[in-house]
């Protein structure tokens, strides 16, 4: 079966984009990865409306990407912090890949907002695609793609 003959209803890229493929959602994830936990902080830092933020946070919780943890400031009502789950942290390489692409092709003249480095040796980090067997870096020319178990003929 050729790619154009395959149905894309079970495509993992499409299903991932259904969950996180929106600008505001990715910016919420970016901030959560960088330690933002509270609604007001997301709202202030990202600059989206409270209604949109509430909707995106609800969707991320329903998807199991964020979880809530109650907290209470002295003299205030109980509220929730938003924390990444394991599923949420597993999106870190995706955000890093977007950052890497953006620093290469869409960076302003001022330079990057964050300088992300390996804590042990202080070298910049980068996202690569590697072979799971020998850990060599691969490019699109080094791989083959064939129908997987979830592939179905397009109708």
Q: Is residue 97 part of a domain?
A: yes
Say what the pLDDT of residue 155 is.
82
Q: Which long-range contacts (CB under 8 A, 24 or more apart) does 49-55 make?
A: 52/24, 53/24, 53/28
Is 154 part of a structural domain of the chain? Answer: no
The whole domain housing 120 covers: 3-142
Question: What average pLDDT score do residues 60-89 get?
Answer: 96
Question: What is the chain's mean pLDDT, rounded?
Answer: 94
pLDDT band at residue 148 under the 50/70/90 scheme: confident
Q: Is 124 within 8 Å of 103 (Cβ atoms)?
A: no
Q: What is the pLDDT of residues 99-122, one digit of tens each?
A: 999 999 999 899 999 999 999 999
> What is the tens place of the pLDDT at every residue in 2-45?
878 888 888 899 999 999 999 999 999 999 999 999 999 999 99
Quick one: how far is CA 100 from the chain centroid? 13
Q: How many domains does the chain have?
A: 1
pLDDT at 7: 84
Question: Is residue 42 within 8 Å of residue 53, measured between CB atoms?
Answer: yes
Check which CATH number belongs to the domain holding 84 and give it.
Answer: 1.10.10.10
More confident residue, 53 or 5: 53
- Say if 152 falls within a structural domain: no
CA distance 57 to 35: 15
Q: Supply 96's token pair.
A: 């890093």
pLDDT of 1 higher than 80: no
Answer yes or no: is 122 within a domain. yes
**155 inside domain:** no
- Alpha-carbon separation of residue 28 from 85, 115, 117, 121, 123 (angstroms): 14, 19, 22, 29, 27
Residue 150 belongs to a domain: no
The answer to whether the CB of 4 falls within 8 A of the CB of 150 is no
Q: Is residue 151 part of a domain?
A: no
Residue 153 resides in a domain: no
Cross-strand pairs, 57: none
């Amino acid at each position: 079966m050729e790619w154009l003959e395959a149905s894309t209803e079970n495509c993992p890229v499409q299903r991932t984009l259904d969950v996180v493929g929106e600008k505001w959602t990715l910016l919420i994830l970016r901030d959560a990865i960088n330690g933002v936990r509270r609604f007001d902080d997301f709202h202030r830092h990202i600059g989206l409306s409270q209604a949109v933020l509430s909707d995106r946070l609800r969707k991320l919780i329903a998807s199991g990407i964020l979880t809530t943890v109650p907290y209470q400031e002295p003299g205030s009502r109980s509220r929730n912090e938003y924390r990444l789950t394991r599923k949420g942290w597993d999106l870190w390489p995706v955000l890093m890949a977007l950052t890497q692409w953006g620093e290469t092709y869409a960076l302003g003249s001022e330079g990057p907002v964050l300088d992300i480095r390996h804590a042990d040796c202080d070298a910049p980090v980068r996202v690569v695609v590697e072979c799971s067997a020998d850990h060599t870096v691969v490019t699109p020319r080094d791989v083959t793609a064939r129908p997987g178990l979830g592939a179905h003929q397009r109708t």
